[in-house]
Amino acid sequence: MVTMPEVINLSAKITEQLPIELVDFMQVAGEVAQRQGQKLYLVGGVVRDLLLNRTNFDLDLVVEGDAVNLARELTSINQGKIVTHPRFGTAKLKWDKWSVDLATARSETYVRPGALPTVKPNAIKDDLFRRDFTINAMAIELNPSRYGQLLDLYGGRNDLEHKLVRVLHDKSFIDDATRIWRGLRYEQRLNFQLEPATLQLLKRDIAYLDTISGDRIRHELELILKEEYPEKVLHRADELGVLLKLHPALKGNGWLAEKFEQARKLSSPDLPSTVLYLALLAYRLNEEENEQLISYLRLAKSVTQTLRDAIGLKTRLKSLANPELSPSNIYSLLHGYSSLAVLVNSLASDSPVARQHIGLFLSKLRYIKPALIGKDITRMGLVPGPGIKEVLDLLLEAKLDGKVTNKRDEEGLVKRWLARVER
């Protein structure tokens, strides 16, 4: 008996789960593609997430034919903006608050491990075969006659049902070892497991992470740090011997989970949580190891500064735990370090006193300034020069410690100082 492949139509699911604007867009796009004699598919993460009932509005469309041509016609319909890369056969379309990626179906071959692939236009079948995991290698047809039909050539739906992350072929991690990190990320995000053979391949191919540029590894790490629970991925990476490829001295153990959890509690829109996470991850490195990590990942200047400051401050934590410190003592221990690095040390410290001192600095002390400025002091008779800075420091210290509270107090202090030096 010949069994026909099961036809699964997801059009009802699409309507249910995606915003009406995107649904309308896809229907029109399918009609236009049809008219142009092309085939259009919704692919990748959004298909996976539709089947999992997870919210995802990042539409990736693949065209069997020419994506740029289709994208151009679609922008003339919805009056959106378009950015095209004709050489790669891709286009990004934006309108209102929406953004959609279109790509020409292509196949990839890897000249050597870790090299960027050689790309040529091809059928959807090959486009799906070049993808990282079966759960990301499904497509939904959008042309009107077959609108909503699932194209599942590599067993993606079965793997979703069994909660498995599976590569499409045995050379997958060799071709592109960033998939090692990606696999861990999906496994932990979705509470899946690496399928046993995939897990073996992953372990076998860990060394191929050395074929990947630091820039690409940093990109994967950033994606991990944007996950809801990055520590789960880092823990798993540690367990499998992947984390040590970032730096051999990194640890993904329980300490990290505890600190990430605390960091999340602080989160506010203007707190760059990925930098905070990264600094916590790097925190237990020494200065030399930290520099190695910074140069491997080619971290941006500001991130580099945060990591250096965070680690530089570690040696001061002991002093900060002294309950006798005055506000000006606290200030002089902490000012000059980036505030994010100060925060990292508060999270990292186990001393409630140190934490309290750091909290006082971040919420209050760092904003304190004397009422008088340099000009006021020269007007009071001090000649411009290094003496000004000395007086301003004195005023700040007095203000931090509550010894002066207003402009008149400060003027009194300057007068006494002048009288003393003139004698």
**What residues line the site for Mg ion (CB under 5 A)?**
45, 58
Nearer to Mg ion, 163 or 189 (CB): 189
Min separation Cβ 136 and ligand ATP, Å: 3
Beta bridge partners of 164: 193
Q: Which of 178, 188, 328, 346 binds ligand ATP (CB under 6 A)?
A: 178
Instruction: Kindly give the interhelix angle for 230-240 and 254-266, rounded to the nearest 10 degrees.
Output: 160
Min separation Cβ 220 and ligand ATP, Å: 9
Judged by CB under 6 A, does residue 106 bind ligand ATP? no
176 binds, among Mg ion, ligand ATP, none (CB under 5 to 8 A by kind): ligand ATP
Min separation Cβ 226 and ligand ATP, Å: 9
**CA 376 from chain center: how many Å?**
47
For residue 307, which of 228, 247, 257, 232 has the smallest C-alpha distance? Answer: 247
Q: Which of 39, 106, 131, 218 binds ligand ATP (CB under 6 A)?
A: 131
Nearer to Mg ion, 58 or 239 (CB): 58
Min separation Cβ 1 and ligand ATP, Å: 34
409 binds, among Mg ion, ligand ATP, none (CB under 5 to 8 A by kind): none
Phi-psi group of 42: left, alpha or beta (phi > 0 → left; psi -120 to 50 → alpha; rest → beta):
beta
338 binds, among Mg ion, ligand ATP, none (CB under 5 to 8 A by kind): none
As to burial, measured by CB atoms within 10 angstroms (0-12 exposed, 13-18 middle, 19+ buried), residue 179 is: buried
Location of structure tokens 């309108």: 95
d(CA 184, CA 329): 45
DSSP 246-288: T-TT---SHHHHHHHHHHHHH--TTS-HHHHHHHHHHTTS-HH
Min separation Cβ 45 and Mg ion, Å: 4
Judged by CB under 6 A, does residue 64 bind ligand ATP? no
282, 307 in Cβ contact below 8 A? yes
Q: Which of 45, 113, 121, 312 binds ligand ATP (CB under 6 A)?
A: 45
Q: Which of 127, 132, 205, 410 binds ligand ATP (CB under 6 A)?
A: 132
Nearer to ligand ATP, 85 or 369 (CB): 85
Taking residue 145's Cβ as centre, other Cβ atoms within 10 Å add up to 8
136 binds, among ligand ATP, Mg ion, none (CB under 5 to 8 A by kind): ligand ATP
Judged by CB under 6 A, does residue 179 bind ligand ATP? yes
Give the three-state DSSP class for 188: helix
Q: Which of 30, 44, 156, 327 binds ligand ATP (CB under 6 A)?
A: 44
d(CA 55, CA 216): 26
159 binds, among Mg ion, ligand ATP, none (CB under 5 to 8 A by kind): none
Helices (H) and strands (E) in the chain, counts: 22, 11
Q: Which of 21, 31, 60, 409 binds ligand ATP (CB under 6 A)?
A: 60
Q: What are the structure tokens assigned to 203, written together? A: 């372990």
Min separation Cβ 56 and Mg ion, Å: 7
179 binds, among ligand ATP, Mg ion, none (CB under 5 to 8 A by kind): ligand ATP
Q: Which of 152, 176, 195, 397 binds ligand ATP (CB under 6 A)?
A: 176
Tally of CA atoms within 13 A in the half-sphere of 138 that contains its CB: 26
Min separation Cβ 44 and Mg ion, Å: 7
Q: What are the structure tokens assigned to 294, written together? A: 């910074």
198 binds, among Mg ion, ligand ATP, none (CB under 5 to 8 A by kind): none
- Applying the rule CB under 6 A, the residues between 6 and 25 that interact with ligand ATP are none
231 binds, among Mg ion, ligand ATP, none (CB under 5 to 8 A by kind): none
CA dihedral sign, ordered 354, 360, 363, 369: negative
Nearer to ligand ATP, 45 or 65 (CB): 45
Give the three-state DSSP class for 354: helix
Taking residue 239's Cβ as centre, other Cβ atoms within 10 Å add up to 12
Min separation Cβ 162 and ligand ATP, Å: 18
156, 134 in Cβ contact below 8 A? yes
Positions touching ligand ATP (CB under 6 A) are 44-45, 58, 60, 131-132, 136-137, 176, 178-179, 182
